[in-house]
């Protein structure tokens, strides 16, 4: 499994306002998994394990608090 994550946070100072700062966050990740096994119901209720195989996931999230 390979996983990479990067992120940062910056607080913009605000003068003459009700708030003293404006925070901003950015985060991104990428993951690559081989032989991902999950538990989900199938046609047979006694067999819940499923091998999905290779899975890649990525996400970019930004926003302010």
Query: Edge-to-edge strand order for the sheet containing 49-63?
Result: 2-13, 21-39, 49-63
CA atoms lying within 13 Å on the CB side of residue 29:
6
Q: Is the pLDDT of residue 64 over 60?
A: no
Q: Are 20 and 48 in contact (CB under 8 A)?
A: no
37 secondary structure, DSSP code: E
Q: Is the pLDDT of residue 65 over 70?
A: no
- What are the tens digits of pLDDT across the range 16-46? 778 788 888 999 989 888 888 888 877 777 7
Q: Read off the pTM.
A: 0.51
């Amino acid at each position: 499994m390979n996983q990479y994550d990067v992120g940062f946070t910056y607080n913009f100072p605000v003068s003459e306002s009700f708030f003293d700062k404006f925070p901003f966050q950015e985060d991104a990740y990428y993951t690559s998994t081989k032989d991902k096994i999950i538990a989900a119901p199938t046609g047979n209720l006694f067999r819940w394990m499923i091998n999905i195989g290779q899975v890649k996931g990525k996400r970019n999230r930004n926003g302010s608090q």
